[in-house]
Amino acid sequence: MSTQLARHQTDVASEHIPLLKELCFGVCRQYPKLNSVALSLLSHPFEEKDTDLYATLLLGLYQLSYMNTPDHAAVNESVEACRLLNKDWATKLMNAVLRRYQREGDEIIASLESMPSVEYNQPKWLVKRFNKHWPDQLEEIIEASNTHPPMCIRVNESAVSRETYQTQLSELGIKSNAGEFSPSALYLRNAVRVSELPNFEEGFSSVQDEAAQLSAHILLPKSGEKVLDACAAPGGKTGHLLEVAKDIELTAVELEPWRMEKIESNLERLGYSAHLICADAGDLDAWWEGEQFDKILLDVPCSATGVIRRNPDIKINRKPADINELVEIQREIVNQVWKTLKPNGFLLYVTCSLMPEENEQQIHQFLESQLDANEVPLNTINEDLSIEWGIPVSHGRQLFPSLEGHDGFYYCLLQKISA
Ligand X SMILES: C[S@@+](CC[C@H](N)C(=O)[O-])C[C@H]1O[C@@H](n2cnc3c(N)ncnc32)[C@H](O)[C@@H]1O
Which active-site residues does the annotation give?
Answer: 352
Q: What is the separation of C-alpha 308 from the centre of its chain, rounded to a whole number of angstroms? A: 7
Of the listed pieces 87-95, 220-228, 253-261, 369-377, which binds ligand X according to CB under 6 A? 253-261
Q: Which of 60, 183, 282, 408 binds ligand X (CB under 6 A)?
A: 282
Which of 259, 342 has the CB closer to ligand X? Answer: 259
Q: Which of 222, 246, 259, 269 binds ligand X (CB under 6 A)?
A: 259
**Under rule CB under 6 A, residue 255 binds ligand X:** yes
Of the listed pieces 11-19, 35-43, 152-160, 274-282, which binds ligand X according to CB under 6 A? 274-282
- Nearest approach, Cβ of 306 to ligand X (angstroms)? 11
- Nearest approach, Cβ of 255 to ligand X (angstroms)? 4
**Under rule CB under 6 A, residue 396 binds ligand X:** no
**Under rule CB under 6 A, residue 247 binds ligand X:** no
Which of 126, 231 has the CB closer to ligand X? Answer: 231
DSSP H or E stretch at residue 84? helix 71-84
| Bond from prior residue into 70 cis (ω within 30 degrees of 0) | no
Q: Which of 231, 334, 348, 378 binds ligand X (CB under 6 A)?
A: 231
Among the listed residues 86, 36, 81, the one whose alpha carbon sits nearest the alpha carbon of residue 59: 81
Residue 289's SS3 state is coil
Q: Applying CB under 6 A, what is the total number of residues that bind ligand X?
A: 19
Q: Which of 33, 226, 237, 395 binds ligand X (CB under 6 A)?
A: 237
Which of 240, 395 has the CB closer to ligand X? Answer: 240
**Under rule CB under 6 A, residue 253 binds ligand X:** yes
Rounded Cα–Cα distance for residues 335 and 47 (Å): 43
Of the listed pieces 9-17, 134-142, 231-239, 393-401, which binds ligand X according to CB under 6 A? 231-239
Q: Which of 280, 342, 364, 370 binds ligand X (CB under 6 A)?
A: 280
**Under rule CB under 6 A, residue 183 binds ligand X:** no
Burial class of 158 by CB neighbour count within 10 A (0 to 12, 13 to 18, 19+): middle
**Under rule CB under 6 A, residue 356 binds ligand X:** no
Among the listed residues 358, 374, 371, the one whose alpha carbon sits nearest the alpha carbon of residue 414: 374
Of the listed pieces 75-83, 101-109, 229-237, 408-416, which binds ligand X according to CB under 6 A? 229-237
DSSP H or E stretch at residue 351? strand 341-351
Q: Which of 225, 243, 294, 299 binds ligand X (CB under 6 A)?
A: 299
Q: Which of 225, 243, 254, 294 binds ligand X (CB under 6 A)?
A: 254
**Under rule CB under 6 A, residue 104 binds ligand X:** no
Per-position b or e across 51-65, b if 16+ CB within 10 A of its CB: ebbbebbbbbbbbbb
Q: What is the separation of C-alpha 184 from the centre of its chain, rounded to a whole number of angstroms? A: 19
Strand partners, 412: 349
Known binding positions for S-adenosyl-L-methionine: 231-237, 254, 280, 299
Of the listed pieces 6-14, 168-176, 230-238, 309-317, which binds ligand X according to CB under 6 A? 230-238
**Under rule CB under 6 A, residue 152 binds ligand X:** no
The Cα angle at residue 305 between residues 23 and 411, in degrees rounded to 5: 135
| Phi–psi pair at 378, nearest 5 degrees | -70, -15
Residue 5's SS3 state is helix
Q: What is the separation of C-alpha 200 from the centre of its chain, rounded to a whole number of angstroms? A: 22
Query: For the residues of 32-48, what is the DSSP string, one character each?
Result: HHHHHHHHHHSSSPPPG
**Under rule CB under 6 A, residue 306 binds ligand X:** no
DSSP H or E stretch at residue 213? helix 210-219
Stretch 1-40 residues interacting with ligand X (CB under 6 A): none
**Under rule CB under 6 A, residue 281 binds ligand X:** yes
Nearest position to ligand X, beta carbon:
231
Locate the DSSP E strands across 231-323. Answer: 249-254, 275-278, 293-299
Which residues of the shown chain bind ligand X in the complex (CB under 6 A)?
A: 212, 231-237, 253-256, 259, 280-282, 299, 301, 333
